[in-house]
Chains A and B, each alone.
Chain A
Amino acid sequence: MDTNVRMILFKEDQIDHAAEAIETLHTQGIPEKDISVISGVPFSEKILGRPMSWTRVPQIALAGAFVGFLAASLLNFLTPNLYRMTVGGLPLTPIPTSIVVTFELTMLGLLISTFIGVFIETISPSYGPKGYHPKISDGYIGILFRCPTNVDEKTCLELQDLGAEIVNPAEVKQP
């Protein structure tokens, strides 16, 4: 079936209408995966009646923390054995003084990998309709959807009734 990618805009104070518009798209038979919401401020999924988003950032962060912990353990416990400098009465690999290095490197791993996680997910290909309009950063709420050509006109009219501003497809661009 042929589809058009459409974008509609609502002003920031028309959040209720935006939620209704999504409901209208559902009733037109447009599946969730073909709808995408973009906004200048974060709205929880519950507000717009959208499915929960997911991210692997916490898992990537934990993996990074583990790598940091491993690196710290190697520095603390492996290097003294590689280059032994035994001082009488003192242990070669004392644990209390190693805790500081372990903590710092674990946290470094956690925090850097959090950012790496965000970066990787940002540049990874995403599904769903794509597009952008500079009005989004002016606080507008944008709804992008793939609409079958046969119901396109009817859907647009219904959305206009809800106060939506239909964006000309030529203006829907990538940032």
Chain B
Amino acid sequence: MAVDAKSLIGSQAKPHHEMEAEELRKEHLLLDPMPREEMNQMVMDAMQTTTPRYWAFVIGFGLAVVVLLFGAWGYMIATGMGVAGIRRPVYWGIFIVSFVFWIGISHAGTFVSAILRVFKAEFRRPFTRAAELMTTFGLAAGALYPLIHLGRVWVFYWMIPYPNSRWLWPNFRSPLVWDFLAITTYLLSSTIYLFLPLIPDLAMARDRSKGWRYYLYRTLSLGWRGTEAEWFRLRKAIGIFAFAIIPVMFSVHTIVSWDFAVSMVAGWQSTIFGPYFIIGAILSGVSAVVTILYILRTTMKNFDYFIRPEVFDGLGKLILIFSMSWAYFFFNEYLLNWYGGTAVIKKILTLHATGPSAWVWYVMLICNVAIPWLFLWSKKVRRTPWLMFIITLLVNVGMFAERYTIIPLTLGHQRSPFDWGIYNPTIIEVSIVLGTLCLFIFLYLLASRIIPLIPVWEVQEGQMSHTLRKVGKTTMPSVTELE
């Protein structure tokens, strides 16, 4: 009891502004500095700690990739596309749904990293790399789908333009070629964008590693020493990337939307499809970042120091804003077609809400609108990581349902009622879809033990520029521009 009384007296004796400062430090990573050496060690420990449970997950997901993705895909190649559920009138099924979904997921890395960097949103610092990594692996998963959907994948090179004996010369103005170019551009640029800010951290890992890790980091860090010229060059390059990759990001999902919008399919021909797809992509992508950050925070050593509730709070606000924007675009598209659209579009919209697959439409609205609007206005919810994990998972379920509504559910009820049909994905298609999810998780699991997931130099730079300043009777955070 005596000890309790003493500590109570001790805390009361603290001046009010000091207690406030303590609270602020607890709250914000950038106000709670730690010596760089310790931060480096924390990140290295997180990267090098592998438990039997971790390896069980790696092996489990690796096997799932082999069986679910490559096994099912191999079976489909050997047997033919007949094993998939796509048939008249629905020729674009769950493969294209997943393609759009993964390309959408990949948007967040760039959005979070580039846009928040350009606008100097400081809370981005500890998690940009985790988001960028998600972009790269999301694109890798998404880029598989055009090949899977192709059917005769062994002749995929016919799409590549070169003078050949068959006199095939692809039309460069086809949206499918746009897709190919946009995804290639985005995949390459986002991989480089992931790599550039990683170089100083690879050098840090090089200085603390032995064996194969040392050789790997030494090669990848390109002889980094941290000279003034190297930092200047890196900053310039990151600056160019941060600005240039934003329009590329917008172009990618716009082009994916044009795959639909330039066709003659009722319900797809819409000028709003580009921005509607982009908003949806950012909503699902930012949600996926939160999901991943929660998993990293709970499974990786020391990550609770770097990933604090302030991160979930900031991203939660973004999700709420994008959910509202998505609802605006959805309503805009819906209202105009409902009010003045042709009979066929009215029928499609009615069937979305009342037809045999109406539950998909309701899942979409509940997960994308109702849940974020009901919960994310609350600061308490936004700062509760496990709640954010559940909400963001549901948002992505909703976004998958949105793509499902747009693609097979729209294709199934076109202009000629005698040609209506319902699409049901087969077990092979579902296996492939689950397989790509496993591929994404598998790649992320491996990368989490090879790449420093926390940009330590960026965190330290942020901590150096943030201080606490006493203003009147209170203490306030203050930021200095070091650049």
Give me the interface of A with B, judged by CB distance under 8 Å. 12, 36-45, 47, 50, 53-55, 57-58, 61, 75-76, 79, 82-83, 85, 94, 97-98, 100-101, 103-105, 107-108, 110-112, 114-115, 117-119, 121-123, 126, 132, 134, 136-139, 142, 174-175
Chain B's nearest CB lies how many Å from the CB of A129? 10
B482 sits at the interface (CB 8 A): yes
A40 lies within 8 A of B36 (CB): yes
- Chain A residues with Cβ below 8 Å from B228 are 36-38, 45, 50, 53
A101 lies within 8 A of B178 (CB): yes
- Assembly CA distance A57 to B336 (angstroms): 48
B356 sits at the interface (CB 8 A): no
Of B222, B228, B245, most buried by chain A (CB within 10 Å of CB) is B228
A107 lies within 8 A of B483 (CB): no
Q: Which 3 residue pairs across A and B have the least CB separation, nearest first?
A: A139-B36, A53-B232, A97-B173
A118 lies within 8 A of B237 (CB): yes
- Assembly CA distance A110 to B246 (angstroms): 13
Tell me which of B161, B182, B195, B464 contacts A12 (CB under 8 A): B464
Chain A's nearest CB lies how many Å from the CB of B158? 15
B241 sits at the interface (CB 8 A): yes
Tell me which of A50, A61, A104, A122 contacts B178 (CB under 8 A): A104
B391 sits at the interface (CB 8 A): no
A55 lies within 8 A of B233 (CB): yes
B236 sits at the interface (CB 8 A): yes
Task: List residues of B (249-274) whose CB comes within 8 Å of A's CBs.
Answer: 251, 255
Task: List residues of B (180-213) whose CB comes within 8 Å of A's CBs.
Answer: 181-182, 184-185, 188-189, 192, 195-196, 200, 203-204, 206-208
- Chain B residues with Cβ below 8 Å from A175 are 203, 206-207, 218, 221, 223-225
- Chain B residues with Cβ below 8 Å from A117 are 233, 237
- Chain B residues with Cβ below 8 Å from A142 are 226
- Assembly CA distance A57 to B239 (angstroms): 11
Tell me which of A55, A76, A98 contacts B229 (CB under 8 A): A55
- Which chain B residue has the least Cβ–Cβ distance from A50? B228
Chain B's nearest CB lies how many Å from the CB of A65? 9
- Assembly CA distance A138 to B245 (angstroms): 31
Chain B's nearest CB lies how many Å from the CB of A158? 22
The answer to whether A42 and B40 touch (CB under 8 A), given A57-B236, A111-B185, is no
- Assembly CA distance A121 to B338 (angstroms): 58
- Chain B residues with Cβ below 8 Å from A121 are 229, 233
- Chain B residues with Cβ below 8 Å from A43 are 231, 482
A112 lies within 8 A of B192 (CB): yes
B233 lies within 8 A of A57 (CB): yes
Chain B's nearest CB lies how many Å from the CB of A50? 6
B182 lies within 8 A of A83 (CB): no
Q: How many Cβ-Cβ contacts under 8 Å join chain A to chain B? A: 177
Q: Is the interface of B mostly helix, strand, loop or mixed?
A: helix
- Which chain B residue has the least Cβ–Cβ distance from A75? B172
- With A111-B240, A123-B222 known, 14 other A-B pairs at CB within 8 A are A38-B227, A42-B231, A44-B483, A57-B236, A58-B240, A82-B163, A103-B247, A104-B178, A115-B192, A122-B222, A134-B207, A137-B40, A137-B203, A142-B226
A107 lies within 8 A of B37 (CB): no
- Can you pick out 25 interface pairs between chain A and chain B where the beta carbons lie within 8 Å of each other? A37-B227, A38-B227, A39-B231, A40-B460, A41-B464, A43-B231, A43-B482, A44-B482, A44-B483, A57-B236, A76-B173, A82-B163, A103-B247, A107-B247, A108-B184, A110-B240, A114-B241, A114-B244, A115-B237, A118-B233, A137-B200, A138-B40, A139-B460, A175-B221, A175-B225
- Assembly CA distance A45 to B59 (angstroms): 49
Tell me which of A53, A55, A85, A139 contacts B35 (CB under 8 A): A139
Chain A's nearest CB lies how many Å from the CB of B216? 14
A42 lies within 8 A of B185 (CB): no
- Chain A residues with Cβ below 8 Å from B161 are 75, 79
B479 sits at the interface (CB 8 A): no
Chain B's nearest CB lies how many Å from the CB of A153? 26
Chain A's nearest CB lies how many Å from the CB of B223? 6
- Chain B residues with Cβ below 8 Å from A39 are 226, 231
Q: Is the interface of A mostly helix, strand, loop or mixed?
A: helix
- Assembly CA distance A42 to B482 (angstroms): 8
- Chain A residues with Cβ below 8 Å from B195 are 115
- Chain A residues with Cβ below 8 Å from B234 are 42, 118
- Which chain B residue has the least Cβ–Cβ distance from A51? B228
- Assembly CA distance A107 to B221 (angstroms): 25
- Over the window 146-185 of chain B, the binary record of Cβ atoms lying under 8 Å from chain A Cβ atoms (1 yes, 0 no) is 0000000000000001010001010011000110011011
Tell me which of A42, A100, A136 contacts B225 (CB under 8 A): A136
B35 lies within 8 A of A107 (CB): no
- Chain A residues with Cβ below 8 Å from B226 are 38-40, 136-137, 142
- Assembly CA distance A142 to B225 (angstroms): 10
- Chain B residues with Cβ below 8 Å from A107 are 185, 189, 244, 247-248, 251
- Assembly CA distance A131 to B181 (angstroms): 43
- Which chain A residue has the least Cβ–Cβ distance from B190? A111
Chain B's nearest CB lies how many Å from the CB of A87? 10
- Assembly CA distance A119 to B37 (angstroms): 28
Chain A's nearest CB lies how many Å from the CB of B329? 22
A111 lies within 8 A of B188 (CB): yes
Task: List residues of B (419-478) whose CB comes within 8 Å of A's CBs.
Answer: 457, 460-461, 464
- Chain A residues with Cβ below 8 Å from B22 are none
A108 lies within 8 A of B185 (CB): yes
- Chain A residues with Cβ below 8 Å from B178 are 100-101, 104
B235 sits at the interface (CB 8 A): yes
- Over the window 115-141 of chain B, the binary record of Cβ atoms lying under 8 Å from chain A Cβ atoms (1 yes, 0 no) is 000000000000000000000000000
The answer to whether A98 and B221 touch (CB under 8 A), given A40-B200, A126-B229, is no
- Chain A residues with Cβ below 8 Å from B461 are 41-42
- Chain B residues with Cβ below 8 Å from A55 are 229, 232-233, 236
Chain B's nearest CB lies how many Å from the CB of A3? 19
A57 lies within 8 A of B237 (CB): yes
A118 lies within 8 A of B169 (CB): no
